[in-house]
Structure 1
Amino acid sequence: MMMGLGPLLLVFMLGPCLTPPTLAQDDYRYRHFLTQHYDANPRGRDNKYCDTMMSIRKLTSPCKDTNTFIHGTKNNIKAVCEDKNGVPYGANFRRSKSPFQVTTCKLRGGSNRPPCEYKATAGSRDIAIACEHGLPVHFDESFYRP
């Protein structure tokens, strides 16, 4: 009976090692995107919000010049990667069909050394993102509708 379990046990043990690296990398890139750009329920959307969020998300060592937080559900953001809420934009991006609430944080002052102080700009804008395997992995820009 043990002879029959040997090959089966080997398959179960090697299975995780055989997961395609691209899927693991996509998952990492998606999680990184969420860390840098996703905040479903912002508290305030003012300069203090930016100072706090940039610090919490570890974007202040050195101070990141500009960062945009998207306020929507993960599913709505992922839908931009599909025809459901996105259209091709430029060479490798997708543009949202509907606007998102966003807060853009811009560094105030000339130094990129902490303490970092940011100016917040809140608004409703279309977003342009890069997607891989149906997941957003890079925020490109946001813009008002014409």
Structure 2
Amino acid sequence: MALQRTHSLLLFLLLTVLLVQLSCGQDYMYQRFLRQHVDPQGTGGNNGYCNLMMQRRKMTLHQCKHFNTFIHEDIWNIRSICSTTSIMCKNGKMNCHEGVVKVTDCKETGSSRTPNCRYRAMASTRRVVIACEGNPEVPVHFDR
């Protein structure tokens, strides 16, 4: 009886630890998504914006990130994309969602070197695909 109770308690503790780790991992991915892709006040659109934001958001520390997209929408508008119909992500998972938002795409010029990475900017309003996870679902990955 005592052994069964001990096993039950250990199983409960193990499940609790796993759930905490999962939620911490999801929170990390959400915070990373915000840092790399969300700039609600920005209007973007020029090379100087990309050069500054890529450096400011720490995407040029060890190497120049080849391509990045900044979304110029309120986080609640971005999170609402997670409530649209699921579609398949590039990795085959079915946790992606699509929506139309204002963006600045930053593409590395190819001739720059870290930490002085140089980018070309292109501003537009276009369809994006983001992966969402959690309960409630939050964006955790910019798919395309």
TM-score interval, smaller chain: 0.7 to 0.9
State the shift of 1:112 in Å: 4.4
User: How far apart are the structure 1 equivalents of 2:73 and 2:27?
Assistant: 20
**2:87 matched residue in structure 1:** 88
Displaced runs of 4+ in structure 1, greater than 4 A?
none
User: How far apart are the structure 2 equivalents of 1:121 and 1:45?
Assistant: 5
Judge conservation of contact 2:131–2:142 (CA < 8 Å) in 1.
Answer: yes
Which one-letter code corresponds to 2:72 in the other structure?
A: H
Q: Is 1:71 paired with 2:60?
A: no
User: How far apart are the structure 2 equivalents of 1:122 and 1:81?
Assistant: 23
The percent of aligned pairs where both chains have the same amino acid is 39
State the shift of 1:111 in Å: 4.6
Q: CA-to-partner distance for each residue in 1:60-103, whole Å, 9 max, x for gaps? A: 121110000011111111111113xx54244334232x410000
**2:22 matched residue in structure 1:** 22
Query: Structure 1 pair 82/44, CA: closer, same or farther in 2 (3 Å)?
Result: closer
**1:36 matched residue in structure 2:** 36
Which one-letter code corresponds to 2:59 in the other structure?
A: L
User: How far apart are the structure 1 equivalents of 2:112 and 2:72?
Assistant: 28
The normalised TM-score by structure 1 is 0.75
The answer for unaligned runs of 5 or more in structure 1 is 1-16, 142-146
Q: Is 1:135 paired with 2:134?
A: no
**2:58 matched residue in structure 1:** 58
User: How far apart are the structure 1 equivalents of 2:131 and 2:44?
Assistant: 28
Q: Judge which range, 17-26 or 130-139, deviates more.
A: 17-26
User: How far apart are the structure 1 equivalents of 2:133 and 2:44?
Assistant: 31
Across the aligned residues of Structure 1 and Structure 2, the Cα RMSD in angstroms comes to 1.9
Q: Report the secondary structure of 1:88's partner residue.
A: coil
Q: Judge which range, 119-128 or 74-83, deviates more.
A: 74-83
The normalised TM-score by structure 2 is 0.76
Q: Report the secondary structure of 1:99's partner residue.
A: strand
User: How far apart are the structure 2 equivalents of 1:43 and 1:75?
Assistant: 18
The answer for unaligned runs of 5 or more in structure 2 is 1-15
Query: Structure 1 pair 121/129, CA: closer, same or farther in 2 (3 Å)?
Result: same
